[in-house]
Amino acid sequence: MVQTLLLKNADMLVTMDGERREIAGGGLYAEDGLIRKVGLSADLPETADRVIDASGQIVLPGFVNTHHHLNQTLTRTLPAGQNNNLFPWLQAHYRIWAKTDPEASRASSLVGLAELALSGCTTVFDHTYLFQSGNKVDYQIEAARDLGVRFHASRGSMSLGESKGGLPPDECVEDEDDILKDTVRVIDRYHDASKGAMTRVVVAPCSPFSVSEDLLRESAALARDKGVMLHTHLCETLDEERYTLERFGKRPVEWMQSLDWTGPDVWYAHAIHVDDDEIRLFAATGCGAAHCPCSNMRLASGIAPVKKYLAAGVKVGLGVDGSASNDSSNMLAEVRQAMLLARLQLGLMPPEGPRKHALLPPSHPLRAEEWMTAREALELATLGGASVLGRDDIGSLEPGKCADFFTLDLNTLQFAGGLHDPVAAVVFCSPQSAKTTVVNGRVIVEDGNIVTMDMAPVIRDHNRLSLALAAD
C-alpha cells in the first residue's frame, strides 16, 4: 500500500530546485518517501496518510552532513583537548577513543544523530576509524536505522603507528589485511546503490599521517572495484603539510594524486591549506571538499578557501566534524558559521592585497560576488552536500527527490524582527531547533522532539559511558 504525506500552508518553502524557487504558501506531496508534487498548497492533493500543517513555518531541504565522527560525542570538552591544535589534540584522544565498545558506539551515534536531526540534518556521513574494544561500523548503521536518519557509513582505518612514523599509538592501529577484509564485509552487507538508499558505505582511510601508502592505494582500488566513494582528511593543518613534505617530498594534494586519490568519487575533509593549482586540480578531476568551519576554528586549523572553490567549480559541502572538535552536532550552526567565516576571510585579505605600510589604504567596497550570502551557505548544506556525496536524489525539494526536509517556526524569539527576509533569517539569526524533521517521508522530529525513540535513557547511558571512558 502506498504511504502518502502532505505538507501544506508553509509561510515559505525553499526548494533549491533548478530555479531556486522560494514559494510563499507552499507545500509538497510525497508517496513512499519520494516527492511527487511541489508548489502552492492550493494546487496539491487535499488529503494524505500524514498531513503536516506548516503554517507560520519555513520549510527547507534536509541538510547533508559530509563529515562527522559520531563516537566523539563521548569526549566533548575533555580537559586534555580543550586548548590544543590538531596533532596534540589527537594524541590526547586516540587511546580514549580506542576504548569505545559496542554499547558506547551505539549510544554516541544515537546522541549525535538525534542532535543533527534537531538541526535539520537528514543525511549524515560518519568517519569512524578506531575499531578496538569490539567496535564495528555495524553498531552505527543499526543506530541510524533505528532513529530513521539517512546514513553514509565509513569503514575507516589507521594502520601507521608511532613505531612506523605515524601519529597514532601502535595499540590504536590495525593490520592492513584485516582492514581490507572487514571493509569488503561491510560493503557487501550494507551498501545500497539504489535511488533513495538509506544506507551507503564509503572507504575512508583516516589521514596522511595514520595510514601507509600501500593501504591508500589498495583502498582506492577496492572502492572502485565495489563502486563506492573514497574519503579522507587532507590539508587540514600546516603540521600535516610539513609531514608529507618531510616524509614524501610532496605536498599533501600531490602525494594523494600520486596514489590514485583524485576523481569524482573522492572528497576530502577540511581541505584548508591548498594553493590555486590544487584548487584547479580538484575542479578538473571532480574532487569534493567537506568544509568544517567550527572545528577548524576550534583547533586553529585555518580557513578553507570556500569562495575560491565555488568560483572554480569545486564541489563543496558542510561537515560538523567530530563532536570533540566542535562540541556540538548542529548543522544549522555550521551553515551560519560558514557564512560568517567566509566574510571574515575577506576582511583578513582585502581586495588591494596585504598591507605593506602603516597608513591604511582607502576603503574599497567589496563586489557582490565576493560575499558569502545566506542562500549560498544554505546551498552548501543542501545541494552542495548531496553533490559531494555523489547523490542526485537529495538536496532539493522537487518531484523525484527524496522527501527529506525540515521546518522552523518563524514566530520565535530568535527570528523576531528578522522576517523581512525569512530565508536569510534562518542563517543570520541565532540557530534554533527544527520544529519538524522528515526523512524519506517519515517524521523523525515533531514539535521539536525526537519521536522515533525515547532519548532520555539514551542520554543517561551516554553520560555514564562517557565519564567511564575518560576515567579509566
**Residue 460 reports pLDDT greater than 70:** yes
| Angstrom distance (rounded) from CA 109 to CA 139 | 8
Task: Give me the residues paired with residue 155 across strands.
Answer: 203
Q: Say yes or no to pLDDT of 357 above 50.
A: no
- Set of cell numbers at residue 459: 542520554
Lowest mean pLDDT among 144-148, 359-363, 420-424: 359-363
What's the pLDDT score for residue 116? 98
Q: Can you read off the three cell numbers belonging to residue 252? A: 599533501
Looking at residue 346, its pLDDT comes to 85
pLDDT the model gives residue 362: 54
pTM: 0.95
- Measured between alpha carbons, how far is residue 363 from residues 54, 131, 176, 347, 351 in Å? 45, 54, 56, 11, 10
**Residue 360 confidence (pLDDT) above 60:** no
Tens digits of residue pLDDT in 16-57: 999 999 999 999 999 999 999 999 999 999 999 999 999 999
Return d(Cα 108, Cα 465) in angstroms, integer: 9
- Amino acid 350: pLDDT: 54
The DSSP secondary structure of 115-175, one letter per residue, reads HHHHTTEEEEEE------TT--HHHHHHHHHHHT-EEEEEEEE----GGGT-SS-GGG---
Confidence of residue 361 (pLDDT cuts 50, 70, 90): low
The CATH classification number of 63-348 equals 3.20.20.140
Say how many C-beta atoms besides its own lie within 10 A of residue 191's C-beta.
17
Q: How confident is the model at residue 370 (pLDDT cuts 50, 70, 90)?
A: confident
Bridge-based pairing state of the strands 266-270 and 229-234: parallel
- Nearest Cα neighbor of 190 from 225, 138, 227, 240 is 138
Lowest mean pLDDT segment, chosen from 8-17, 127-136, 365-374: 365-374
Span 81-118, pLDDT tens digits: 899 999 999 999 999 999 999 999 999 999 999 999 99
Mean pLDDT of 159-188: 97
359 has a pLDDT exceeding 60: no
Query: What's the mean pLDDT in 130-138?
Result: 96
Q: Could you tell me if residue 143 is left (phi over 0), alpha (psi between -120 and 50 degrees) or otherwise beta? A: alpha
**Lowest-pLDDT choice from 123-127, 347-351, 365-369, 408-412:** 347-351
- Phi–psi pair at 136, nearest 5 degrees: -145, 155
The confidence score (pLDDT) of residue 322 equals 86
Query: In the prediction, which pLDDT does 438 show?
Result: 98
Share of the chain above pLDDT 70, in %: 96
Q: What is the pLDDT of residues 195-208, one digit of tens each?
A: 999 999 999 999 99
Which DSSP category does 106 fall into?
Answer: H
Percent share of the chain, pLDDT over 90: 92
Grouping H, G, I as helix, E, B as strand and the rest as coil, residue 258 is helix
Q: Does residue 343 have a pLDDT over 70?
A: yes
pLDDT of residue 238: 96
C-alpha cell at 249: 617530498
Domain ranges for the chain, please list them.
4-62+396-450, 63-348
CB 383 within 8 A of CB 16: yes
Concatenating the DSSP letter of every residue in 197-239 gives -SEEEEEEE--TTTS-HHHHHHHHHHHHHHT-EEEEEES--HH
Exposed, middle or buried, 373 (CB in 10 Å: 0-12/13-18/19+)? Answer: middle
Average pLDDT, the chain: 95
Buried b (16+ CB within 10 A) or exposed e, 231-263: bbbbbbbeebbebbeeeeeebbbebbbebebbe
> Under CATH, what is the fold of the domain 4-62+396-450?
Urease, subunit C; domain 1 (2.30.40)
